[in-house]
Structure 1
Amino acid sequence: MSKTWRVLQTAGGAGTAPPAMSSPLLALCHFCELHGPRVVFTTEVRAAHQPEPAADPAGPPRADRCEGCTSVATPDGGFCSQDSEVAGRWYCSQQVPSDPDHAALLRQGCARSLSCEVCPGPDGVIYFGDEVRGHVISHNFSLSDVNARGSQRNYSIVVLSADKHLLLRNWSFYGQQLRQIGRDLQTSASRVFDAEDEPLAMEDFPLLVNRPRAPRRRSSQSVKPSRSLAEITGAPDVYRSLHQLFTFVLRSGESRFVPLGGGAAPAARGVSQLPPITTALHTLLGPRLRQLRTELGPENFRDIISHVLVGHQLVLRGRENDVTSVIDAFRLLLPASCYSPLPYSSAYQQPHRCNLLGVPPDARLPAQLAKSVIVARLGDGGEERRAALEVVTARPGPPPTLVAQLDAALANQRLPDALLDHRLASLRQDWKSKSEQLFEYWSGEHGDGGRSQADTQAFIAALGCQPCDLPLLQFWMTSS
């Protein structure tokens, strides 16, 4: 049997070839009018590009597939793109995954995405899954087709992974990319639909006047319960294009949350360009926070960052150089949109103007401070004058999980100063990503206003968060 693999050269990111199921699978699924939910096209990461038998042992025999639920003509047909920067890493596309276990999981995800899982509207991105059957992000959409029942054929694009956290951290990225691919397919299908679904001439209906739209007739083609995606979209190379797009999504999704990239991330040639991933840290800020923790004591320091992380105002008394250096260091702990400092002011300023304020040691504070204000005094380094808390008007409740993570990093003396900044920036990026996912959940296609408290708690738990983290997520989310 002749091989039908087409090898496409692609650039890639740093790393090594992953073992089985260490990377997500990306697949196009279709609800066939003859055979029900079917996996049509799958892209996966492999250690070699040699074709392997299509693994569909528990599925229907090949004879039970029609042109609507078939993408490649032969079991070992497909496309492959080599990662030019990682030896032995390939992005390969076939009808179904080469591994039988992965194929079985993908079939289950396909059936759920097209049948029992529900999105807020006719189109939308949803998440479902568990540790046994894998975790799935699915974008459901429909394509116009004059020969389909109701003139619509239902499709979904699914991302299957064994790593729930990888999927949810990339929720915004995957959702955006899958929606864009779906919109491109819908645009192509609509052009074909309009060309085939010709309007009837007005003279055929002499008694109808002031009609807003002329009736339409079916094309001369016979009604077909099954039709290939290439025919629906009018794109003979549609699967080649999908392979390129799926390759881009898989590779960039894996590299998207590397927190300490240097400059621009590598791009997939001939497919698209990746956004730059940068974390510029020109000075070491972590050691100053570590020093403040030592001076205040761990408990007092945790009180301070518990307030700061949820948006409460921190007022620091002390000499200008000491105060400004600490306030500058706090930008390691907060997203840029949440970092609103006034490094040094001769008089007190209200919380709506700044959430980090430095004042001289003798500055007068209002007799009645807002409940969301915490005041600390910085020492001058002498034995008699060390940093201390002066005013804690109200504790913010149970501290967010991030407080313990930051405190552990600062307390770890085996972590060098040069790596401490990197660790703190990585933790900040991780929680910023979680706040963005919560924002996406509460807005956009998910902003139907009907989310119950139980639904929200379940989603927060899926992010790996607890109820005590909600104030932090809300502050970081609303400041985006």
Structure 2
Amino acid sequence: MAPIIISLGHFCDKHGPRVVLVTQAGIKGSTGDELLLPTYPTDSYCKSCSLTFPDGDRNDVRSFKSNIASRSYVTTQYSSIRYQLLTLIVRRCFSEETMIYDGRPLVFYDDLRGFNLAIGFKLRDETARGNERRYCWILTIDSKNHNSSMKLLSEHWNFITSGFSKAIQYINETHDKESERQNKLHNENNIKLMEGTYLRGNKAKMPRNLCELTNDNLLFVRIHKWNAFILNSIMESHD
């Protein structure tokens, strides 16, 4: 069975198309430690496109591993095995005028980037350039065999698209609640009555990641679990 990976892409205001995280499956029966990342420089990442997992007082945990049955699943900032592949894929998603953000899947395939299913979404954010932040969920089948990849994708199409859509729905709903909370605070603290009109100050542009946008410190952990569940369900059906 061809390797299957799930990644979350983001168009960073500062760095352009970036992979925020990638979830991979270890070899059945292995610990999955071969997929963990060593310490790496983070100078080329900003808050908007960097990945951290909560771990008590630490704020620099950048890998997460869990086990389902006899297989390990690992989520990291990038894949040391498929870094170039995923970089090409996420650039394809954001740099060409093909990505849509209304929940409809985009499928593309070539010998260089494999078989990919992507679903894009946007979040309204006044602190972002253009007042929005763009993301995409991507499932990649790393294979040059078009027929087998298409067969696998068609067998699990509803499951994959439904899983991505539910995760995106959760992010949208929690983001909407956080936006309402922030707007309420803004109205209470920063709107001044002057000559009978309200004046609202412009919000500064700044990097913000999904945890901050949703006010969910465990969001990346949830994403890891969603991705691992999807991968495990597909792989178990073919073992």
TM-score computed with the length of structure 1 as normaliser: 0.41
2:77 corresponds, among 79, 95, 98, to: 95
TM-superposed deviation, 1:117: 5.0
Q: CA deviation at 1:248?
A: 0.9
Bigger Rg, structure 1 or 2:
1
1:192 equivalent in structure 2: 178
Any residues of structure 2 matched to 1:2-401 within 5 Å, and which? 22-47=2-27, 48-50=31-33, 52=35, 54=37, 62-72=42-52, 74=60, 77-84=62-69, 86=70, 89-99=71-81, 102-119=82-99, 122-163=102-143, 164-165=149-150, 166-197=152-183, 198-199=186-187, 206=196, 217=200, 223-255=204-236
How many pairs are equivalent?
220
Q: Please give the per-residue CA displacement for 1:123-167, whole angstroms capped at 9, x wherever unaligned.
A: 431101213321110010011223112321001110111242222
RMSD: 3.0
Structure 1 counterpart SS, 2:33: coil
- Once the two structures are superposed, residues 95-125 of structure 1 have per-residue CA deviations (whole angstroms, 9 ceiling, x without a partner) of 11131xx121111111111221524554431
Equivalent-residue separation in structure 1 for 2:132 and 2:187 (angstroms)? 18
1:42-80 per-residue CA deviation (whole Å, 9 max, x = no partner) reads 11001323265638x9xxx63111011111365x73111
Q: Deviations over 1:313-363 (max 9, x none)?
A: xxxxxxxxxxxxxxxxxxxxxxxxxxxxxxxxxxxxxxxxxxxxxxxxxxx
Report the CA distance between 1:171 and its aligned residue.
Answer: 2.1
CA–CA separation in structure 2 for the residues paired with 1:216 and 1:124: 39
SS at match of 1:111: helix
Task: Call closer, same or farther: CA 1:254–1:218 in 2, change over 3 Å.
Answer: farther
- CA distance in structure 1 between the partners assigned to 2:8 and 2:101 by the alignment: 19
Compared CA separation, residues 37 and 216, structure 1 to 2 (3 A): farther
**For the residues of structure 2 that align with 1:43 and 1:51, how far apart are their CA atoms?**
13
Structure 1 pair 228/169, CA: closer, same or farther in 2 (3 Å)?
same
Distance 1:190 1:154 in 2: 15
Unaligned runs of 5+ in 1: 1-17, 208-214, 259-480
Task: Output the CA distance in 2 between the equivalents of 1:25 and 1:138.
Answer: 12
Contact 1:199 / 1:216 at 8 angstroms: preserved in 2? Answer: no
- Measure, in 2, the Cα distance between the counterparts of 1:174 and 1:205: 55
Quick check: which one's strand share is greater? 2
Given that 2:106 and 2:119 are in contact with CA atoms closer than 8 Å, whether structure 1 keeps it comes out as yes
Tell me the equivalent position of 1:413: none
Deviations 1:26-51 (A, max 9, x none): 11111000000110111100132326
1:46–1:92 contact (8 Å) kept in structure 2: yes
Give, in whole Å, the separation in 1 of the partners of 2:210 and 2:114.
27
- Alpha-carbon deviation of 1:231? 0.8
CA distance in structure 2 between the partners assigned to 1:94 and 1:119 by the alignment:
24
**Distance (Å, rounded) in 2 between the aligned partners of 1:216 and 1:32:** 30
| Residue 348 (structure 1) aligns with | none
Q: For the residues of structure 1 that align with 2:225 and 2:101, how far apart are their CA atoms?
A: 28
8 Å Cα contact 1:26-1:157 kept in structure 2: yes
How far has the Cα of 1:186 moved from its partner?
Answer: 1.2
CA contact (8 A) 1:146 1:196 kept: no
Letter in 1 for 2:108: F
Unaligned runs of 5+ in 2: 53-58, 144-148
Cα pair 1:29 1:40 within 8 Å, conserved: yes
